[in-house]
Amino acid sequence: MDRPSSSSSSSLKLLGSWADSHTHRVQLALKLKGLEFEYQEEDFLSPSPDLLHHNPVYKKVPVLLHDGRAVLDSVIALQFIDEAWPAAADAPLMPADPFDRAAVRFWCHFADDKLGPAVGLVFSSSGEGQKAAVEQVHENLKLLEGELREGAFKGRRFFGGDRIGLLDIVLGCGSYWLAVFEEVMEVKLVDPEAFPFFSAWLREFEEQKEVKETIPAIDKLLEYARGIRQMMLSMGSATAATANGATTSATGNASVDAVDSSSAA
Ligand SMILES: N[C@@H](CCC(=O)N[C@@H](CS)C(=O)NCC(=O)O)C(=O)O
């Protein structure tokens, strides 16, 4: 079977939201692969007919359309892009070895299942709940620090090796929120002394040309996050969040969605 090509016979369109880290993942992967794509900004308060048609199950962004067919969920879209254009720009996103591939998938799941919700909870909580959320972020960063220092990714510049790979994209596109939340919430999330390997990796990631082109300016994100936080406080929802058990992931996800939503921009 022919692989999709980036020629004019094959079209790529991305439905996304400007501040959404999941959207940035797909944008960054397409840029790293040198693939051209059309971009359509979505408003969560009023999703476009395209979004509702192509993602009726979750009604979420990002949605990647390849020749009109939808690829849903950001991590699945990254894998699709890598499999469909394996040689593009000489930039494989996944390692060749099956064990290494399994490790990448596992840590991608960790990013969305544990780290992301913990970071979101820092933003959506206050007081003791927030202290516990900060602690959760630190516990999760400790795990990544260990992997970079002496685990599966030891000695690497990026999780992907000498260049950005799929796990770098997934972790990196969420990590700029750490700095945004540190400033807005006046908490310390990434202490370079406590997490030297993670901090070095993040600096390297942020230095990449394609990353700079993808991630919005920090001032814009700060203004956006402050607006959302203000809205949450006025609705009383920030103090309702606690960092215990069952409420953790639900609240964390909800807040990440809120922060990533484009409606306040
Ligand atoms: N697992 C999905 C998550 C996507 C997601 O949560 N998208 C959010 C933005 S961060 C969204 O579209 N929210 C809109 C809504 O819930 O109405 C992925 O990785 O693509």
Of 239 and 77, the one with more pLDDT? 77
Nearest Cα residue to atom 3 of ligand 1? 73
Domain boundary among 90, 112, 140: 90
CA pair distance 150, 170, nearest whole angstrom = 21
Which ligand 1 atom sits closest to the C-alpha of 60? 12
Residue 44 shares a structural domain with residue 75: yes
Residue 143 shares a structural domain with residue 163: yes
What pLDDT score does 235 carry? 85
Mean pLDDT of all residues belonging to the chain: 88
Nearest Cα residue to atom 10 of ligand 1? 257
Residue 105 shares a structural domain with residue 151: yes
Residue 114 shares a structural domain with residue 202: yes
**Residue 189: inside a domain:** yes
**Residue 2: inside a domain:** no
DSSP string covering the chain: -PPP-SSTTS-EEEEE-TT-HHHHHHHHHHHHTT---EEEE--TTS--HHHHHH-TTT--S-EEEETTEEEESHHHHHHHHHHHSTTGGG--SS-SSHHHHHHHHHHHHHIIIIIHHHHHHHHH--HHHHHHHHHHHHHHHHHHHHHHHHSTTTT-SBTTBSS--HHHHHHHHHHHHHHHHHHHHT-----TTT-HHHHHHHHHHHHSHHHHHHSPPHHHHHHHHHHHHHHHHHHTHHHH---SHHHHHHHHHHHHHHHH-STT-
Which ligand 1 atom sits closest to the C-alpha of 257? 10
What pLDDT score does 90 carry? 83
Domain boundary among 72, 90, 108: 90
**Residue 111: inside a domain:** yes
What pLDDT score does 84 carry? 96
Residue 141 shares a structural domain with residue 245: yes
**Ligand 1 centroid vs 61 CA: distance in angstroms?**
5
What pLDDT score does 265 carry? 28
Total structural domains within the chain: 2
CATH number at residue 60: 3.40.30.10
Residue 218 shares a structural domain with residue 255: yes
What pLDDT score does 239 carry? 53
**Residue 76: inside a domain:** yes
Residue 186 shares a structural domain with residue 238: yes
Nearest Cα residue to atom 14 of ligand 1? 60
Which ligand 1 atom sits closest to the C-alpha of 62? 20
pLDDT tens, residue by residue, 55-94: 999 999 999 999 999 999 999 999 999 999 998 888 899 9
Of 7 and 153, the one with more pLDDT? 153
**Ligand 1 centroid vs 258 CA: distance in angstroms?**
10
Among candidate residues 14, 125, 143, 121, the one with its CA nearest the CA of residue 77: 14
Nearest Cα residue to atom 11 of ligand 1? 60
Range of the domain at 45: 12-90
Dihedral (C-alpha) 7, 209, 69, 260: value to the nearest 10 degrees?
-160
Asked if residue 59 lies in contact with residue 9, where contact means CB atoms within 8 angstroms, the answer is no
**Residue 1: inside a domain:** no
pLDDT tens, residue by residue, 148-164: 999 999 999 999 999 99
Of 249 and 239, the one with more pLDDT? 239
What pLDDT score does 87 carry? 86
Residues lining ligand 1, Cβ inside 6 A: 20, 22, 44, 59-62, 73-75, 256-257, 260
**Ligand 1 centroid vs 262 CA: distance in angstroms?**
11
pLDDT tens, residue by residue, 96-134: 999 999 999 999 999 999 999 999 999 999 999 999 999
Burial 206-230 (b: 16+ CB within 10 A, else e): eebebbeebbeeeeebeebbeebbe
What pLDDT score does 245 carry? 30
Nearest Cα residue to atom 19 of ligand 1? 74
What pLDDT score does 111 carry? 98
Domain boundary among 44, 70, 90: 90
For residue 240, what are its two tokens? 């309702």
pLDDT tens, residue by residue, 175-194: 999 999 999 999 999 999 99
CA 132, distance to chain mean position in Å, is 22
**Residue 145: inside a domain:** yes
Residue 152 shares a structural domain with residue 238: yes
What pLDDT score does 237 carry? 66
CA distances, 104 to each of 92, 161, 178 (Å)? 13, 12, 21
Residue 136 shares a structural domain with residue 109: yes
Residue 103 shares a structural domain with residue 229: yes
Residue 115 shares a structural domain with residue 214: yes
Q: What would the mean pLDDT of 52-56 be, rounded to a whole number?
A: 98
What is the pTM (predicted TM-score) of this model?
A: 0.89
Residue 76 shares a structural domain with residue 106: no
